[in-house]
Amino acid sequence: MFWGLAFVVFGVVLLINQILGWNLPILRILFAVFIIYLGVKMLFGSFGFRPQQVKTDYQAVFSQSDFSFPSKDSTDDKKSYQTIFGESVLDLTNIDLSQGSQSIKIDNVFGKTILRLRKDTPYKVEASVVFGNIHSPDRENASLGDWTDQSDNFNKGENHLLIQADVVFGKLKIELVDVDKK
């Protein structure tokens, strides 16, 4: 379809050039249109080129994932989660702070991450935001720079959850849920 349309447009432009005496750089215009066409085809995967989707217990790249802590499939307690050009839900409603404070790292680049915590979990968020959006139950920030927030029951001397986040052109949303609801 593209080539048929290109030949029709090329013919019409040649006619207009001859009849009206315009001096249009036809080949340059067609070359530019062709390059744009190739770019659009690549973006939408028409050439068999598709971005590689990565979906693990800790990463969502060009995909959607549901993360939990600790991971269902792993015995280690990996505490770094990445969402890149994707969407993820990180469920921390079952995190145990009775043995001491916990720390996790969230990296979000051109994506959306929803972080679920129990309402009674004491937490502190330390984030670096670059043209992104962080939404916590208390406030929202869409900007550039460092951002800090904490729950009402946060006490530095007691066990708590420290969330370190980097959000670049993305969104991090913190949702508080009741213990018996998820």
* pTM given for the model: 0.66
* Amino acid at the residue 21: G
The residues that bridge with 119 in the sheet, in sequence order, are none
Paired sense of beta strands 87-91 and 161-168, if any: unpaired
Instruction: Return averaged pLDDT per consecutive 10 residues of the chain, 182 residues in all.
Output: 66 74 73 74 60 67 77 57 90 89 92 94 92 84 82 92 93 88 51
Give pLDDT, residue 74. 46
Q: For residue 132, give the H/E element and its range.
A: strand 123-135
Q: How many residues appear in the chain?
A: 182
Supply the pLDDT for residue 6. Answer: 66
